Chains A and B, each alone.
Chain A
Amino acid sequence: GAGVSQSPRYKVAKRGQDVALRCDPISGHVSLFWYQQALGQGPEFLTYFQNEAQLDKSGLPSDRFFAERPEGSVSTLKIQRTQQEDSAVYLCASSRGEDGSYEQYFGPGTRLTVT
């Protein structure tokens, strides 16, 4: 079956522009995660959804970052007034269950470059 998909795969934004990154999780997966991966670093947690509820947004770096999953399926990560330090790969992951016993499946990522 289809895995986690993300779009766009690449995004170039001028500083100050708003961007929206989309994640389509595996069908039926309850949990959805966003991670940010800067160059040369491991992924860093941004936020977590269980169905449509955003249960943890402790990793969002500023109030310019906003995520939603209104129907408990597709999720969008929005970054307002992009800055150069926002340049990174944004990874989405989904898992079947609500607890940590289920594997997280990662998407291919969206590479955001802010110029």
Chain B
Amino acid sequence: AQRVTQPEKLLSVFKGAPVELKCNYSYSGSPELFWYVQYSRQRLQLLLRHISRESIKGFTADLNKGETSFHLKKPFAQEEDSAMYYCALRRGYNKLIFGAGTRLAVHP
């Protein structure tokens, strides 16, 4: 069965520290993976997708098929990065399968 696992419910770091939000998936085909972010009192929005291979707001994520992982990384966290982050896998037409989410708290 297709599944997305985010092992950490909360990740707490200080401003300027590196950040890595973990995501592991199980999928039998060729996966397409995404990171979505939800800032406080805002709606869920796309942060990045693996096929774009781009950096958004300083975040990057590399698909590792051998480890079935798609971890989100940023070298220097900022306070405005504090948010809920969801890893998601696309299945079928457009159906997204989400992980349970990780709350990132960046302290000054």
Kindly state the separation between the CA atoms of A107 and B45 in the bound complex, as whole angstroms: 9
Stretch with Cβ within 8 A of A (4 or more), from B55-63, B66-74, B75-83, B88-96: B88-96
Q: Report the interface size for chain B: residues with CB under 8 A from the other chain.
A: 21
- A43 near B95: Cβ-Cβ < 8 Å: no
Instruction: Please judge, given known A-B contacts A40-B100, A100-B32, whether A45 and B95 are in contact too, CB under 8 Å.
Output: yes
- Binary interface profile of B, 1-43, with partner A (CB < 8 Å = 1, else 0)? 0001010010000000000000000000000100000000001
Instruction: Please judge, given known A-B contacts A42-B98, A43-B98, whether A99 and B93 are in contact too, CB under 8 Å.
Output: yes
Residues of A within 8 A of B97 (CB): 45
A62 at interface by CB-CB < 8 Å: no
Decide if the interface of chain A is mainly helix, strand, loop or mixed. loop
- A31 near B43: Cβ-Cβ < 8 Å: no
Cβ contact of A104, chosen from B4, B32, B96, B100, cutoff 8 A: B96
Residue of B nearest to A58 (CB): B95
What's the count of A-B pairs with C-beta under 8 Å? 59
Instruction: Please judge, given known A-B contacts A42-B86, A42-B99, whether A104 and B94 are in contact too, CB under 8 Å.
Output: yes
Shortest CB–CB separation between residue A107 and chain B, in angstroms? 7
- A56 near B92: Cβ-Cβ < 8 Å: yes
Residues of A within 8 A of B90 (CB): 100
Q: Report the interface size for chain A: residues with CB under 8 A from the other chain.
A: 29
Residue of B nearest to A38 (CB): B100
Residues of A within 8 A of B6 (CB): 42
Shortest CB–CB separation between residue A22 and chain B, in angstroms? 16
Residues of chain A from 18 to 73 with CB closer than 8 A to chain B in the complex = 31, 33, 35, 40-45, 48, 50, 55-56, 59
Question: A residues near B, CB below 8 A?
Answer: 3-4, 31, 33, 35, 40-45, 48, 50, 55-56, 59, 91, 95, 98-100, 102-109
A-B contact pairs, 5 of them (CB 8 A): A31-B93, A35-B98, A42-B6, A43-B44, A48-B93
Question: B residues near A, CB below 8 A?
Answer: 4, 6, 9, 32, 43-46, 86, 88, 90, 92-101
